[in-house]
Structures are given as C-alpha cells and as structure tokens.
Structure 1
Amino acid sequence: MSSSVCFDDRLDAGRQLARQLLPLQLRCPLVLAIPRGAIPIGAIIADALHGDLDVVLVHKLGAPFNPEYAIGAIDEFGNVQLGPDADPGSPWVREESARQLAVLKQRRALFSAGREALDPLGRSVIVVDDGLATGSTMAAALRATRTEMPLALIAAVPVASPEALELIGPLADRVVCLHAPPDFRAVGQFYRAFPQVDENEAVRMVRSRQPGDHATPCTGGLSDH
C-alpha cells in the first residue's frame, strides 16, 4: 500500500470501524448508512453489533452553474440546511430543493420496499459514511436523525478531513473516525479499491435485512446488544 492508503476496500474499512465500535456496548443499535457508498460498511457494522441496518437519506443541493458544488443539503423530511453561499429566498434554492426531495422519496421507496423507515427513537444510532470531504452530507444526516430522538447519536467514518470533523463534532454525541490526515484531498485516495457501489446490490443489502434479523430484541427500545 502507498503511505496514504489506509483500507483495502470498503469491507476492510467496515471491519476496522466495527472493531472500534464494539467496545462501546451500544444499546439497541441501529446503523443508518448514507447511500450508496456506506451501505457495505454499514452492513458489516450492523452484523458485528447485532443491530439493524437502514439508510438515512439526504442529498446535496447543487449550485446553479455547477451541480457538483454543494450549496447545502436536504433530508427526506424536507429540512434544508444551506451554506453561506446560498440565498434561502432564491427561486433556484426552492426549485433545487423540490427536485432533490422528489429524488429522496423515490429512493426511500426503492430501499424500503413498502415498509416504513426504521425508527431511531430510543436507540443507539450509528450514522455511517465511507469518508468525509466537506462533511455537509453527514451533517445533514445527523441533524435529520437527531429530530427522531435517538438514545445516542454516533457518526462513524473510516476517514475524514479535519475540517469535516470540526463541522460534525457538535452534531453527534460521539464521532468515531479512524483517520483524519492533514493532507486530505479526496476520500478515494485512502482506499486501494474504491469502485462505485452498484445500486441494485446496495438495495439488495438493505432489503435483505428485515428488522430484527441480526439484532437482539430491544426491551422497551433500550436493550444491550
């Protein structure tokens, strides 16, 4: 491996994260993965913690002349978080928010196959991504999950920029990050293999895990794993 590579692939990253999370003795764990890249990582963590797996759906809001540049993010409940470059009253923000909310509703139907999203209420919730560059997507996911009143809210990532960790730190009860290198340029530089996660495979991973399949039942919503 080169000096900047920390993980063979997402499965390796998931195993390394799971080893750090296991000693926390989380109660009634629910792993929420940010699609699609975090789903293989989240599946490994959910299995290791004997918890449930679901997705948390957020989407960046792109700038008018560069859709790849994030001016904010929206969650599946319609909550919008805007960066300093965005005008909340602009027609573009309203239109982009409506577009991305429609996409999120379609994705929920795809991943959940008709069942409701798993309820974080009273559970130890681990929000997982495969790496953080700006941290804006994770920040939106944490804010959305916090409104659902989890017992504890943990952000878990294999690698992140120091700036991203500074952003998300106040939003979680605990942040588990394996590497935060000062020379961070892109998430993929820290993986030997970092292919796109196939959407069909990601959907299969989530749909194949019915609530309780891998979990110790939660007594009153608060059971040790």
Structure 2
Amino acid sequence: MISTREEAGRRLGQRLAGERDRDAVVLALPRGGVPVAVEIAAALGAPLDLLFVRKIGLPWQRELAYAAVVDGTPPEVVINEDVARLEPLTEAQLEEATREEVAEIERRRSVYMAGRAPLAVAGRTVILVDDGLATGTTARAALLALRRRAPDRLVLAVPVAPPDTVRELARLVDAIVCLETPEPFRAIGLHYQDFHQLEDDEVLAILAAHSGR
C-alpha cells in the first residue's frame, strides 16, 4: 500500500538516483502524475515539464480508445491498431476528433504552464511519470510519441501497475521503475491510502511550490 502520490515520488526519486548525471528531464502526465513527478525532479535536480495526452474515443463508444494525441510541436497521433482494424474511422472523423482534443491540450497547457513551450527532449534522458497504470494505453501513446523525438534514453517511472502492463511497456523503454506490481491488480486508487482526485487549483499550487524550491 502506497500512502500518497508525494511519498511515491520520493521513493521513485531514490530508485532513480542513477539518472542524476544523465541530463534528465522529468515529464509528468497530469493531473495525477504531477505530485509524483515533482518529487522525482527535486530529487534529481532535473527540470520538470508536463506531457499532455488525450484519448480519441470512437464516436459511438467514447471510452474505447481508437487513438491518442500527444502534446508536442506538432502534436502526434498514435493509433490503437487493434481497435482500428475492427472499428475504422474515416480520415475526416479522425481529423475532427484530433482537432477537438488538441484544442483541449492547448487549453490545459495554457492553464498549467502559462503558454510556455514544451522542453526539448532530443538527446536527453526522458523520465515519464504517472501516478499508476492499469491498461497502460495513455502511457503507451506517450512513449511511442516520445521515442520519435529522439531522446538518448527513455525511462518510465510509476508507483503501481499490473505485472502484465509493466512487461508490455518495458519493451518500449530503456528502463522501467515501478514500486509495486500487485497481483491480482485492482483499481489504481485501491493501492493508495490517499488517492483523492486532483483539481486544477491543486496542480497549480504543486507546480508553484516546486518552482519556489
């Protein structure tokens, strides 16, 4: 059982100590990844940025991920090939859905980062952080998009995930650090003592406190 996201971040920071001298940048998946990532960034003395990923669901089944669009210049769309083979969208449908999600990404980046451009990751060690994984769909899209941006090393750091998800995503990274891999795996929040839902104001306060360290 993990107490809080912050405690998880401190434990991950200790496990990632070897990345301190690797020109690392820490990327958080908001909202839940932010309090984890700020502790890792502080432990490593590394810059922190946010990586926004938005799921593109099927128009008739929004919860089923057809694709994901990942923040960047330009944003990148990663197709879920398993779903696309069974339920293909037209090019027009995909473009319309992508425009909607990119607009939401831009809104969130404006709120959280005051319009600051994303940090460059080419040639650097990139540590992608979330507060937990279940299926790993969002993290997979983020990792595939990040790999295209030519980092020197790509590391995934999460507090808790099912063993099969860890094995699947390990193929996409140079290293993966996960504190707990319980089996059977329940919902992420059931492996935390405190897993309250983060709102924008709390995320902004966490980022402000980190900037002031």
User: Which structure 1 residue ranges, 5 or more long, are not aligned?
Assistant: 1-5, 215-225
Runs of 4+ in structure 1 off by over 6 angstroms are none
> Is the alpha carbon distance of 1:209 and 1:192 closer, same or farther for their aligned partners in structure 2, counting shifts above 3 Å?
closer
Most deviating of 163-172 and 174-183: 163-172
Matched letter for residue 82 of structure 1: I
- 1:54–1:206 contact (8 Å) kept in structure 2: no
- 2:160–2:180 contact (8 Å) kept in structure 1: yes
- 1:37–1:130 contact (8 Å) kept in structure 2: yes
Partner residue, 1:109: 110
Partner residue, 2:189: 188
> Is the alpha carbon distance of 1:62 and 1:26 closer, same or farther for their aligned partners in structure 2, counting shifts above 3 Å?
farther
Partner residue, 2:69: 74
Most deviating of 179-188 and 106-115: 106-115
Counterpart-to-counterpart distance in 1, 2:63 and 2:27: 24
Scaled by the length of structure 1, the TM-score of the pair is 0.83
- Aligned partner of 1:33 among 28, 31, 41: 28
Is structure 2 residue 9 aligned with structure 1 residue 22?
no
Is structure 2 residue 164 aligned with structure 1 residue 169?
no
Q: Deviations over 1:152-210 (max 9, x none)?
A: 11000011122322332222111111122221131111101101112122134335656
Partner residue, 2:99: 98
Matched letter for residue 200 of structure 2: E
> Is the alpha carbon distance of 1:172 and 1:85 closer, same or farther for their aligned partners in structure 2, counting shifts above 3 Å?
same
Higher relative contact order (CA closer than 8 Å, sequence separation 6+): 1
Where 2:104 maps in the other structure, the secondary structure is helix
Structure with the bigger percentage of helix = 2
Q: Deviations over 1:46-91 (max 9, x none)?
A: 0001111110111111232332332321112332222212314365
- 1:75–1:141 contact (8 Å) kept in structure 2: yes
Report the aligned-residue RMSD: 2.0
- 1:34–1:127 contact (8 Å) kept in structure 2: yes
Partner residue, 1:52: 47
Counterpart-to-counterpart distance in 1, 2:173 and 2:208: 27
- 1:139–1:167 contact (8 Å) kept in structure 2: no
- Aligned partner of 2:60 among 46, 49, 65: 65
What does 1:138-217 correspond to in 2, within 5 Å? 138-206=139-207
Counterpart-to-counterpart distance in 1, 2:113 and 2:27: 13
Counterpart-to-counterpart distance in 2, 1:147 and 1:111: 25
Counterpart-to-counterpart distance in 2, 1:26 and 1:177: 21
The alpha-carbon deviation at position 147 of structure 1 amounts to: 2.4
Q: Deviations over 1:98-137 (max 9, x none)?
A: 2111111222222221321111122221000001111111
> Is the alpha carbon distance of 1:170 and 1:64 closer, same or farther for their aligned partners in structure 2, counting shifts above 3 Å?
same
- 2:65–2:83 contact (8 Å) kept in structure 1: no
